[in-house]
Structure formats: C-alpha cells, structure tokens
Amino acid sequence: MTSFNDFGLHADINRALAAKDYTVPTPIQTQAIPPLMKGRDLCGIAQTGTGKTAGFALPSIHHLITHPHHTNPRSCRMLVLAPTRELAAQIAQSCRDYGRFTKLRVSTVFGGVPINKQIRDLAQGVEILVATPGRLLDLIDQRALRLDDVEIFVLDEADQMMDMGFIHSLRRIAKLLPSRRQNLFFSATMPKEIAHLAEQFLEDPVTVSVTPQATTVEKIRQFSTYVEQKEKQALLHSVIASEDIDRALIFTRTKHGADRVVRHLAGAGIKAMAIHGNKSQSQRTHALQAFRSGEIKLLVATDIAARGIDVSGVSHVINFEIPNVPEQYVHRIGRTARAGAEGKAISFIAPDERPYMRDIERVTRSKSEAMPLPENFNELVRNLPKPAQPPRDTGSKGRNPQRQRDEAFAGRGEGNRGNQPRGDRGPRREGAGADGQPQRKRRFRPRGGKVGAHKGAVKRVG
Ligand code: AMP
C-alpha cells in the first residue's frame, strides 16, 4: 500500500500530514500526486469528499517550496478557482493546514464580503490564492491583482462552474494567465462539454478518475417514498423522529422552500438552520459552524449552497425535493457516506417529480428501495404543527443591515456588474429566476476559439 512517504514530498508537508493524522493516501491522491510531482497537467474526475484537495494541494505546495522565488506584489504563484465561497474557503483552509510548517501565504477572495481587505491581503503578493471567478476579475479590474506570475492553475468543480454560468469569466481569466504553467482540472462529472472545456485548458494531461461517471457512491443506501408535495413536511417530521440521525442534510430546490422547511421544523420544536444564496456570508458561516459542531443536527440547503461542503458524520441526506439534473442528485447524496462510513439517502417524490427520479435512476444505473409512508401518516398530516414565524436571521432582503452591506460590497445595485455571472456576485447567486430555481445546465458551445490561450500556447512548468 502506498504511504505518503513514498511520494517524496517535502519534509514540512509530511510533518503537516502527520499532524492531521493522515497515514494512507486516498485513491485520487495515489493516482494524482506522482504525475503532478513531475509537473504534468492533470484532469481529475472526482467529487468533493474523495481527498482531491490534498491530491492537488500537496504536490503544488511541494513545488512552491522547492522552487522558491520572490513573489511580486499583487500577484500569486498558484491560483485555484472554485465555484462557491464555501468551497473556496474550505480549499484555502486545507492549503493552510498542509502548508502550516512552511512560510507560504494563502489568501482567499470571493464575493459577498468587503473587497478592501482582500485588496490589502494581496498587496504584498501571496503564494497561493483561492478565488471565485467574479471577485477575482473585480480585483484584476481594480489593479489589485495580476496573473502573469501564475505557475500552477487549478480549476475545481468545473461542471459546477459551467452550471453557474462562469464560462465567460473563465475565458477572460484564461487569457490573463501566462502560457507557461501547470494546469489541473477537476470535475465531479465529465459530460461532453466539460471534457471539451478540459481539452482547452490542458496539455497532454494525465487523467485520473475515482468514481465512474455519474455513478452513485456505493456505500449509500438509497430509499424513496412517493408522497404528495403538500404532505412532505409531515413525512420529514416522521423521518426525523424514526431515523437514527447523527447529522442530516435536507435538500430543497428553492431558497424559499428551504426557509419554509426550517420554519415548519421550528414550529414543531425541531432545531434546524438553512443555508442558501439569500443568506449573508456571516449567516452561512454561522449555520455551517453550528452543523459542524453538532449544535444543530439538521441543515436545510439548496444545491449550490451545499456544493463542496465537507462535513464529516453526515448520516442522512434527505431529498425533500428531487433535482431535475441527475448529476445534482449524485452530488447531494455524496455528502453522506464519507470516509468509509455508511450513509443513507431518502428521497421524497411528489407525482410531478417521478420523471426526474426515473432520469436519476437511468443515469446512476441504480434503483432506490421503496420506503412506505408511516402507518399513522394521515394523522401526522392532520396534526402537523403550524410553522414558526420567520426567524430574524432568514436574511430577507432589505431588513438586514449586514446583508445590505454584503450586497453593496458584492457590487449589486450599482449597475456595473451586468456582465458578471451570478455565481459569486453575492446573495442571489443560485439562479436568476425570481422563484429561486437553480439554473438549468448551460451548454458550452465554443465559438470557434480556444478558451484562453491560443493553441499550443499552454505549456507546463518544469
Ligand atoms: P476533499 O475531497 O479534498 O474535500 O477531502 C475530504 C475530506 O477527507 C477532508 O476532510 C480531508 O481533510 C480528508 N482527507 C483527505 N485526504 C485524507 C487522507 N489521506 N486521510 C484522511 N483524511 C483525508
């Protein structure tokens, strides 16, 4: 069995791994680290939860330590792009952990928080920058950052980037990168258009894959119950009462739906919080911390807000509503069954959601077990407690000063961000629709040109 010592990583990195109690590399790490240490480009098909962050961060940190040179002001040597603020923050924290015995500086930039601190952080230059695309471009436009010195470029969760409409930002960013660089491209799924995007970023890449395309994680037991939409809340209360839940993530399709579920749970005296794009950054951080620390066992989330969240010990994923994109289902249920633990996914299927479930079962080549409605279900429906009044922290627009500040800093309402995708522009980032529906997949169609540098211009370092 491979051990971390076999990779030839710098001693400071091995020390950090020992401090984190990592002994055995995960499959993606075993596959990705050796070619990355040789400076190869890499195309990784892997979800969050597989250990892919260390897979790309460890060899990159090794490169930065073993090729030391001065970092110019307002520049970085390694750039990691992630679709959401949560994922960006998580990646940055991992880089700090893995680089804790080195002098490498790690910064994060994303929308929804004041830009001035980020400008100050970048003034002296940093070795590792983790960013969401919109805010990165804001900083570049303000001359707070340049990308000429990037040696390692990582594009994480590429499929999510495309879903969120970041393609134009990616094109712009790619043009600003130097042609000599190492490229790493990660995506949980690799449909044709993502593979095409990957081709444009990568040169002679090594491809590594740790889950077959759109196949559900084997350790997850999947169940589904047919239920009327308006009776789902009663079913949720029954599932919460009958299941042995350590931590459960409950997915709704819309932000308002997520708030409604939390209010109904509160009405029944059940503590839960919601995380979605209408929440301010501080509310989202607070909810995640409460979920991580065990203060709350139930977190209600929309797909984009939950993407990339890494919380161990999620025993259940409950699909309160069924996603209309099968890959989204794979991502959702992938939140459970981490680190070899068994997880359980339970889907509530309303009559109009049956076609979505059929699509999911076709794509994942799996069938969930039927979970019947509880015997006293009609009684539960009749006696469903009234929802609580909206709690003060629902983040409703216009009433929350913090939220208004966030929006102002995110550039909303200033009429100057018309060409920037919603992705990291601030709280309304989950879709343009007033109903909060996540965006349908946007298909990427190249218009005759490469993304970024012209053919042959993308070269590896070293
Ligand atoms: P990631 O897919 O990068 O988000 O990682 C998922 C989780 O696995 C994180 O909590 C990591 O800290 C953890 N992890 C990554 N690699 C290892 C490893 N080799 N041994 C134990 N835990 C790991």
Q: Could you read off the pLDDT of 266-316 as tens digits, one per residue?
A: 999 999 999 987 787 788 889 989 999 999 999 999 887 776 677 778 899
In a domain, 434, yes or no: no
167 and 234 belong to one structural domain: no
Q: Quick one: which atom of ligand 1 is closest to the CA of 49?
A: 2
In a domain, 315, yes or no: yes
284 and 309 belong to one structural domain: yes
Domain boundary among 142, 175, 209: 209
Q: How many helices (H) and strands (E) does the chain have?
A: 17, 14
Q: How confident is the model at residue 391 (pLDDT cuts 50, 70, 90)?
A: low
Based on the structure, what is the number of domains in the chain? Answer: 2
Distances (CA, A) of 336 to 233, 249, 291, 328, 359: 22, 9, 14, 14, 21
33 and 170 belong to one structural domain: yes
| Residue range of the domain that includes 95 | 4-209
Q: Are 459 and 181 in contact (CB under 8 A)?
A: yes
343 and 225 belong to one structural domain: yes
Q: What is the pTM of this model?
A: 0.62
Q: Quick one: which atom of ligand 1 is closest to the CA of 55?
A: 3
Distance from C-alpha of 319 to C-alpha of 252, rounded to nearest angstrom: 7
**AA letter at 403:** R
Confidence check: pLDDT of 424 > 90: no
33 and 136 belong to one structural domain: yes
For a mutational test of ligand 1's pocket, the pick from 14, 53, 60, 130, i.e. the residue with the most ligand atoms closer than 8 A to its C-beta, is: 53
182 and 226 belong to one structural domain: no
Find the angle CA(269)-CA(293)-CA(343) to the nearest 5 degrees. 80
Specify which residues 208 forms β-bridges with: 44
Distances (CA, A) of 133 to 112, 139, 144: 13, 10, 15
pLDDT digits (tens, 9 = 90+) for 90-123: 999 999 999 999 999 999 999 989 999 999 999 9
pLDDT digits (tens, 9 = 90+) for 402-412: 333 333 223 22
In a domain, 415, yes or no: no
- 3-class SS at 312? coil
pLDDT of residue 158: 93
pLDDT of residue 325: 79
- Other C-beta atoms closer than 10 Å to the C-beta of 57 total 26
Distance from C-alpha of 88 to C-alpha of 284, rounded to nearest angstrom: 14
324 and 367 belong to one structural domain: yes
Domain boundary among 360, 382, 404: 382
Distance from C-alpha of 445 to C-alpha of 43, rounded to nearest angstrom: 20
48 and 97 belong to one structural domain: yes
Instruction: Say if ligand 1 is within 6 A of residue 49 CB.
Output: yes
Where is 44: in which H helix or E strand? strand 42-45
Strands (DSSP E) contained in 82-232 are 106-109, 126-131, 152-155, 182-187, 206-209, 220-226
Distance from C-alpha of 229 to C-alpha of 209, rounded to nearest angstrom: 37
For a mutational test of ligand 1's pocket, the pick from 310, 314, 335, 336, i.e. the residue with the most ligand atoms closer than 8 A to its C-beta, is: 310
Confidence check: pLDDT of 386 > 70: yes
Confidence check: pLDDT of 1 > 80: no
For a mutational test of ligand 1's pocket, the pick from 20, 47, 96, 97, i.e. the residue with the most ligand atoms closer than 8 A to its C-beta, is: 20
Q: How far apart are the first and last CA of the chain?
A: 29
Specify which residues 107 forms β-bridges with: 129
* 121 burial via Cβ count (<10 Å: 0-12, 13-18, 19+): middle
Instruction: Say if ligand 1 is within 6 A of residue 55 CB.
Output: no
> Would residue 420 be called left, alpha or beta, if left means φ above 0 and alpha means ψ between -120 and 50 degrees?
beta
Q: Which residue has the higher pLDDT, 338 or 348?
A: 348
**Residue burial 288-326, b: 16+ Cβ < 10 Å; e: rest:** bebbbeeebbbbbbbbbbbbbbbbeebbbbbbbbbbbbb
- 3-class SS at 354? helix
Could you tell me which of 98, 88, 94 has the C-alpha nearest to residue 7? 98
180 and 258 belong to one structural domain: no
In a domain, 421, yes or no: no
pLDDT digits (tens, 9 = 90+) for 326-336: 878 887 887 77
In a domain, 102, yes or no: yes
CATH code assigned at 268: 3.40.50.300
176 and 241 belong to one structural domain: no
183 and 255 belong to one structural domain: no
Domain boundary among 160, 186, 209: 209
**AA letter at 267:** G
Distances (CA, A) of 452 to 54, 80, 182, 457: 27, 16, 14, 9
204 and 254 belong to one structural domain: no
In a domain, 187, yes or no: yes
Confidence check: pLDDT of 394 > 60: no
* Strands 76-81 and 152-155, sheet pairing: parallel
Instruction: Say if ligand 1 is within 6 A of residue 51 CB.
Output: yes
pLDDT digits (tens, 9 = 90+) for 220-273: 889 999 999 999 999 999 999 999 999 999 999 988 999 999 999 999 999 999
Q: Are 343 and 336 in contact (CB under 8 A)?
A: yes
pLDDT of residue 256: 92
In a domain, 452, yes or no: no
30 CA distance to ligand 1 middle (Å): 13
Could you tell me which of 414, 451, 365, 433 has the C-alpha nearest to residue 176? 451
In a domain, 401, yes or no: no
pLDDT digits (tens, 9 = 90+) for 154-173: 999 998 898 888 999 999 99
Please provide residue 440's backbone torsions phi and psi, each rounded to the nearest 5 degrees. Answer: -70, 160
